[in-house]
Structure 1
Amino acid sequence: MKKFILPVFAFVLTINACSTDKSSSQSAEQTTSSATVVNLSAKEFSEKSPSGTILDVRTPGEVAQGKIEGAVVIDFYQPDFMEQVSKISKDQEIYLYCAVGARSEEAAQMLVQQGYTKVYHLQGGIQAWYQNGYPISQN
């Protein structure tokens, strides 16, 4: 019986030691990847976005109805979306918006996962922008 207990005890210790190492490395990864998406109101977006790249992730049909002045348009639904975004420096401030906010929020999360560190999202999208009285460009 003693011969059986000793190997089982050693096995349990080994399993616990491995799981402890995993959780330690996971928390270290979470710490180093501390960048998060910052949600902004239309007013905050208006005040802060001129210091970075404004990224419109809507479709061409949506953009034809107007966009925020100076925005770079990269359609989120295109297969080369991340390839196009990768041309923007990962340390640059990026301000994303779409029609109502869901698509741009998803895109913003993708950017953070790819190592972008200064990612801002317009809550409510261009609809909130317009409803708060901010201009929409037809260019």
Structure 2
Amino acid sequence: MASLTTSVNPHSTCSLHRNFHSRIPAFNYNYCPNSANEPSSCCLTPKAIIQNSSRTNSGSTAARFTVRSAATKPAKSPAEEDWSIKRKYLLEKKVRSVEVNEALRLQKENNFVILDVRPEAEFKEAHPPGAINVQIYRLIKEWTPWDIARRAAFAFFGIFQGTEENPDFMQSVESKIDKKAKIIVACSSGGTMKPSQSLPEGQQSRSLIAAYLLVLNGYSNVYHLEGGLNTWFKEGLPAASEDSVVQK
């Protein structure tokens, strides 16, 4: 995996960065693109942080962080397994993908639950009526050296609200949805398990990662929304927001 050394200067809400005129550090890290093709949940693997002070041309002090050697990375979680492993398990467990119109019919006629795993803010803006929201990724919360380096790495790619896996995902799902429930897992893009010439193993997504975690934890009636909620809204299917419900 290639290493990349660069300097970035995004705006930051971190008090440390504000004290140094919002100068985000130079850093050396390994970048592993997430196959979900959703940059807000990409895998950034920095090593360690050394903080130095330097003088700018104007005489003010700026912070410089250099990631050089081994910071502690959290242990690999099930969600971080290779997509090929997750896909194989989903197929073994007969997790089906359903198109948006079929998903709406199943919700109305067969009491299927739509589990929306997008961030809470996106869910509040628009979602299928009756859907339950449990975000599989959340905004990075902590300020350990690891997390600061990840924020800086996200900023390099123009992402100023980087996300991390939600450690309470399964606990929240289990508190809201019975394990015998029939569930359709949905995110924005949907991803696919269907092979194609350009994507012989399909394409990972947040909803497919969530479906994998569900079946790992004993949910036996798990479906996946093909095309995602972007297609749902594009097709003009019913949508709810915090204040209203729009019927087709």
Instruction: Tell me the residue number matched to 1:83.
Output: 171
1:40 to 85, 98, 119: 98
Question: Between the two proteins, what is the percent identity of the paired residues?
Answer: 36
Which protein has greater RCO, CA pairs closer than 8 Å, 6+ apart?
Answer: 1
TM-score by length of 2: 0.41
In 2, the alpha carbon distance for the partners of 1:83 and 1:53 equals 17
1:113 to 216, 226, 240: 216
In 2, the alpha carbon distance for the partners of 1:57 and 1:35 equals 20
Structure with more helix by fraction = 1
Residue correspondence of structure 1 range 1-139 to structure 2 within 5 A:
35-50=93-108, 51-77=111-137, 78-87=166-175, 88-101=177-190, 102-139=205-242
TM-score by length of 1: 0.70
In 1, the alpha carbon distance for the partners of 2:221 and 2:104 equals 16
Residue 98 of structure 1 and its aligned partner are, at CA, apart by 0.9
In 1, the alpha carbon distance for the partners of 2:174 and 2:120 equals 20
Structure with more strand by fraction = 2
Q: Which amino acid aligns with 1:54?
A: I
Show structure 1 runs of 5+ residues with no match: 1-33
Show structure 2 runs of 5+ residues with no match: 1-91, 138-165, 191-204, 243-248
Structure 1 stretches (4+) deviating beyond 3 angstroms?
Answer: none
